[in-house]
Amino acid sequence: MQLSTKHLLGIKDISREDISLILSTARQFKEVLQRPVKKVPSLREVTIVNLFYENSTRTRISFELAEKRLSADTINFSTSASSVSKGETLLDTVNNILSMKVDMVVMRHSASGAPHFLAKHIPAAIVNAGDGINEHPTQALLDAFSIEEKLGSLAGKKVALIGDIMHSRVALSNIHLLNKMGAEVMVAGPPTLIPKYIGEALNVKVEYDLKKALQWCDVANVLRIQLERQNQVLFSSLREYNLAYGVSRKMLDSLGKEIIIMHPGPINRGVEIDSDVADGHQSIILQQVENGVAVRMAVLYLLAGKRE
């Protein structure tokens, strides 16, 4: 089987069948990653550049590790050590890199739509590693993989995305993916951090009361307050945000049921989630990170098979 797409720009653009294929391929790669020798020769002929115009810990390391496990040749690019600081454009930078015979580009950028722009102008396969407030498709795929691992399937499961929905590319990719795979989706948080009309536009429930959201869901995916993307005051203080919307041990204990706690990272401990929840027995935060490598191996392997 093959993907229907040459690039992975967003979950919005791919089919339910594409998602199922990526997740089933990732399950095979997760088995490879349990072996003493964790490397396969699948991408021995492929060169990949990791083009990170915005900071990253998990995604950048996870892609690089996935590429190495697949035996690809990799190049890492970060803006601070490049000629971007001398005024070079995105397209010039990428065309210069491609002239050195690069096959695939993994890109993170603060501008929404930057990978879509590149895909229109260059022949290499593009993987979106997070673009502005638009999408973070491999995060949604690894979140889905992690939920399936815990609960068996996504269909019919109730997933609440909690926090700064307005500025979250993780939220948008998760909403598209969970809807396509038949899960029920709720967004919860302060009204100022939830876009108006999101309920009808994206087929999600909207809840402003954290406890009601936690009582409703099987899985709570807690999102970071994206202070770096906010140019106006959208809540009174981090302390007050924590009191109203921080997921605490006391609140989880009051639910009368066990839910799964997820977070894409980086975590703001004591703001959107308390430490004893992030590190507690219901949390699968580090399993998400672990699964990211297998999921990214699957994405790169399947896209490499689509190259002309």
Count of residues of this chain found to bind ligand CP when the rule CB under 6 A is applied: 10
Binding letters toward ligand CP, positions 235-264, x by CB under 6 A: -----------------------------x
CB of 59 to ligand CP, least distance (A): 3
Number of C-alpha atoms within 13 angstroms, CB side, residue 303? 28
Q: Which long-range contacts (CB under 8 A, 24 or more apart) does 80-86 make?
A: 84/53
Q: Which is nearer to ligand CP, 30 or 136 (CB)?
A: 136
Select from 15, 266, 275, 286 the one that contacts ligand CP (CB under 6 A).
266
Footprint (CB under 6 A) of ligand CP, residues 139-178: 139
Rounded Cα–Cα distance for residues 160 and 222 (Å): 8
In sequence order, which residues have a C-beta less than 8 Å from that of residue 46 and are 6 or more positions away?
A: 70, 72, 73, 103, 104, 300, 304
Q: Which stretch binds ligand CP (CB under 6 A): 18-26, 29-37, 56-64, 246-254?
A: 56-64
Instruction: Tell me whether residue 58 or residue 229 sits nearer to ligand CP (CB atom).
Output: 58
Per rule CB under 6 A, is residue 56 in the interface with ligand CP? yes
- Kindly compute the dihedral angle of the four CA atoms of residues 263, 267, 268, 273, in this order, to the nearest 10 degrees: 40
Q: Rule CB under 6 A: is residue 265 a binding residue for ligand CP? A: yes
> Which 3 state secondary structure label does DSSP give 269?
strand
Which distant-in-sequence residues (6+ apart) come within 8 Å of 306 by Cβ? 2, 3, 5, 6, 125
φ and ψ at 124, to 5 degrees?
A: -70, 155
Q: Give the interface segment with ligand CP, choosing from 54-62, 86-94, 146-154, 158-166 (CB under 6 A).
A: 54-62
- Least separation, in Å, of the C-beta of 266 and ligand CP? 6
Q: Which residues contact 243 (CB under 8 A, 6 or more apart)?
A: none
Which residue lies nearer to ligand CP by CB, 63 or 301? 63
Told to check if 137 binds ligand CP by CB under 6 A, we report no
Choice between 25 and 62, CB closer to ligand CP? 62
Q: Does 134 bind ligand CP (CB under 6 A)?
A: no
In the complex, which residues of this chain contact ligand CP (CB under 6 A)? 56-59, 130, 136, 139, 264-266
